[in-house]
């Protein structure tokens, strides 16, 4: 008889317990209506998660399988398997799982639910939540699910939750397997929410789509539909990883379908679908893309660029690690990153964030106009440096903001690994500024691209709309983010996005 269920354990489940589980499974298999098989396969229908082991949550979130808790403390949760495992408990639980699937399956004859049907059930959550957010526009409401509460304020576009958002979706999913969540009227809103961590509604939807989509595309889309990226996600406030940056570069330069993206990026289809759902929900995609641009090619794994990029990213993310003594670049060529941009945009601040030596800056008293905003301005340039674990030093330069030092800009950017342009949104001239910098560095950008950071939006409250229009007008496909360079993570994020581009061959743009 064919196996209908495969069950796997989270990789952090103790090997002894895993072994015991497999033995018990063999024993009880004959007593179950269906065949259960213990696998190491990631495609398993059911996964056993050791909740006592804190490190197991990551695997849990990415799993597309039906989760079963495994814990020393017995809980009311119907999907909890108490330690130590007894074969009666396991038998009962697996029977319950089969019945649950059977109930939700259209194929009542066999106690097996296709992945698709199960995913529909789970994905409904995301759809339900979205619907409620739309229905309650301008209002506050509480989503309650057993003992988890999520407070949503659609007016402020914020939500409050005692748990970390990335933990919220799995908890929610697990509980809604049996019961739909309920919407409650806010009760003592102020008192409760002031003590809870707050998140933007965008980050809730982003997280929900990434971990709650379960590899199933939102209803209105198909896998052959062509998408193009309109705008990069707000990575200053949303979690991201390298695979996402890669998909985004493709999607930004080359309108393509999910099927094509899987082909060219070699990233799993389920992962791409989760990500497309998340981008779609945040309104970042054009569904009717402009004409095809060109297809970026991913450079080979062996490319020296790739190794340099990963070394730089790893260094920036682990600045406390001991590095070898500084030495000149092995390639006999200076490796440098340049920050350019308008006065006050935060170039000096950004460099200070990532430099491992006290930044060398040539500050002078500002002109009258500038003095109103801050005391000093950079003349000549800023210089900072960080050293990779193998001793290679990476130089960071900041161009002086004022236009009278324009001759320096071109000298500094020559041969740079990448360019980050910062624009101060609170300046009257912000729009002229972005034009000026994109035009001045046009030659460099044509061959090497750039990342644009719009700063001081915390003060202005503006969106990036007008800057996106400028990029669009100039047919420039540059990642752009609202950032606050006083936050080190925002600076690292921009450098990471800028560097990731080096792994793709984007130089065909001009043709």
| Alpha carbon distance 198, 164 (integer Å) | 10
- Shortest Cβ 433–ligand GTP spacing (Å): 11
| Alpha carbon distance 206, 462 (integer Å) | 21
Among 484, 492, 505, 507, binds ligand GTP (CB under 6 A): 484
Checking phi first, is residue 157 left (phi over 0); if not, alpha (psi -120 to 50) or beta?
Answer: left
- Which of 283, 272, 273 minimizes the C-alpha distance to 233? 283
- Which of 184, 24, 149 minimizes the C-alpha distance to 91? 24
For tokens 């990213």, what's the residue? Answer: 313
Regarding 378 and contact with Mg ion (CB under 5 A), the answer is: yes
- Which of 397, 418, 420 minimizes the C-alpha distance to 408? 397
- Shortest Cβ 426–ligand GTP spacing (Å): 8
Checking phi first, is residue 146 left (phi over 0); if not, alpha (psi -120 to 50) or beta?
Answer: left
Backbone angles phi, psi at 402, to 5 degrees: -70, 145
Among 296, 359, 401, 418, binds ligand GTP (CB under 6 A): 401
- The torsion angle over the Cα atoms of residues 285, 287, 288 and 294, rounded to 10 degrees, is 60
Q: Which stretch binds ligand GTP (CB under 6 A): 145-153, 284-292, 346-354, 440-448?
A: 346-354
Regarding 355 and contact with Mg ion (CB under 5 A), the answer is: no
Among 98, 203, 277, 378, binds ligand GTP (CB under 6 A): 378
Q: Pick the closer one to ligand GTP by CB: 233 or 401.
A: 401
Interface with ligand GTP in residues 60-89 (CB under 6 A): none
Q: Which stretch binds ligand GTP (CB under 6 A): 85-93, 198-206, 336-344, 406-414?
A: 336-344
| Alpha carbon distance 478, 473 (integer Å) | 12
Q: Pick the closer one to Mg ion by CB: 6 or 399.
A: 399
Q: Which stretch binds ligand GTP (CB under 6 A): 138-146, 163-171, 209-217, 482-490?
A: 482-490
- Shortest Cβ 402–Mg ion spacing (Å): 10
Among 207, 348, 393, 399, binds Mg ion (CB under 5 A): 348
CB 453 within 8 A of CB 494: yes
Kindly state the number of chain residues that form the binding site for ligand GTP, as judged by CB under 6 A: 20
- Shortest Cβ 409–ligand GTP spacing (Å): 12
Q: Please count the residues of the chain.
A: 511
Q: Pick the closer one to ligand GTP by CB: 158 or 456.
A: 456
Among 345, 417, 430, 450, binds ligand GTP (CB under 6 A): 345
Among 485, 493, 498, 502, binds ligand GTP (CB under 6 A): 485
Backbone angles phi, psi at 50, to 5 degrees: -80, 100
Binding residues vs ligand GTP (CB under 6 A): 341, 343-349, 374, 377-378, 400-401, 455-456, 458-459, 484-486
């Amino acid at each position: 008889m064919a196996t209908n269920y495969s069950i796997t354990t989270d990789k952090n489940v103790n090997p002894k317990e895993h072994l015991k589980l497999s033995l018990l499974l063999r024993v009880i298999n004959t007593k179950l209506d269906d065949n259960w098989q213990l696998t190491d396969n990631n495609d398993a229908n059911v996964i056993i998660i050791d909740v006592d082991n804190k490190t197991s949550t990551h695997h849990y979130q990415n799993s597309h399988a039906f989760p079963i808790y495994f814990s020393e403390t017995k809980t009311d949760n119907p999907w909890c398997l108490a330690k130590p495992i007894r074969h009666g408990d396991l038998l009962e639980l697996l029977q319950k799982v089969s019945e649950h699937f059977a109930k939700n399956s259209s194929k009542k004859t066999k106690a097996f639910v296709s992945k698709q049907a199960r995913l529909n059930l789970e994905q409904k959550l995301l759809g339900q939540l979205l619907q409620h957010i739309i229905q309650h526009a301008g209002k506050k409401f509480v989503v309650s699910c057993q003992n988890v509460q999520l407070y949503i304020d659609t007016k402020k576009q914020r939500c409050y939750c005692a748990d970390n958002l990335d933990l919220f979706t799995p908890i929610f999913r697990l509980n809604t397997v049996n019961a739909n969540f309920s919407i409650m009227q806010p009760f003592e809103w102020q008192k409760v929410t002031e003590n809870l961590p707050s998140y933007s509604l965008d980050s809730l939807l982003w997280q929900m789509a990434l971990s709650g989509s379960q590899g199933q595309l939102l209803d209105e889309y198909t896998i052959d539909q062509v998408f193009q990226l309109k705008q990069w996600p707000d990575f200053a406030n949303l979690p991201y990883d390298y695979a996402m940056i890669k998909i985004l570069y493709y999607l930004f330069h080359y309108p393509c379908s999910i099927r094509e993206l899987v082909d060219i990026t070699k990233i799993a289809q389920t992962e791409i679908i989760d990500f497309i759902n998340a981008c779609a929900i945040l309104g970042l995609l054009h569904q009717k893309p402009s004409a095809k641009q060109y297809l970026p090619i991913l450079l080979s794994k062996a490319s020296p660029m790739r190794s340099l990029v990963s070394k730089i990213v790893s260094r920036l993310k682990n600045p406390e690690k001991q590095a070898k003594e500084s030495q000149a670049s092995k390639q006999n060529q200076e490796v440098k990153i340049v920050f350019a941009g308008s006065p006050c945009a935060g170039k000096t601040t950004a460099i200070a964030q990532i430099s491992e030596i006290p930044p060398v800056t040539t500050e002078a008293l500002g002109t009258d106009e500038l003095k109103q905003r801050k005391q000093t301005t950079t003349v000549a340039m800023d210089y900072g440096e960080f050293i990779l674990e193998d001793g290679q030093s990476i130089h960071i330069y900041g161009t002086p903001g004022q236009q009278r030092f324009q001759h320096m800009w071109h000298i500094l950017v020559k041969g740079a690994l990448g360019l980050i342009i910062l624009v101060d949104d609170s300046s009257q001239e912000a729009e002229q500024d972005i034009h000026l910098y994109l035009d001045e560095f046009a030659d460099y950008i044509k061959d090497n691209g750039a990342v644009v950071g719009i700063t001081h939006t915390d003060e202005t409250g503006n969106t990036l709309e007008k800057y996106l229009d400028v990029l669009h007008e100039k047919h420039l496909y540059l990642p752009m983010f609202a950032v606050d360079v006083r936050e080190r993570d925002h600076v690292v994020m921009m450098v990471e996005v800028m560097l990731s581009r080096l792994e793709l061959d984007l130089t065909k743009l001009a043709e």
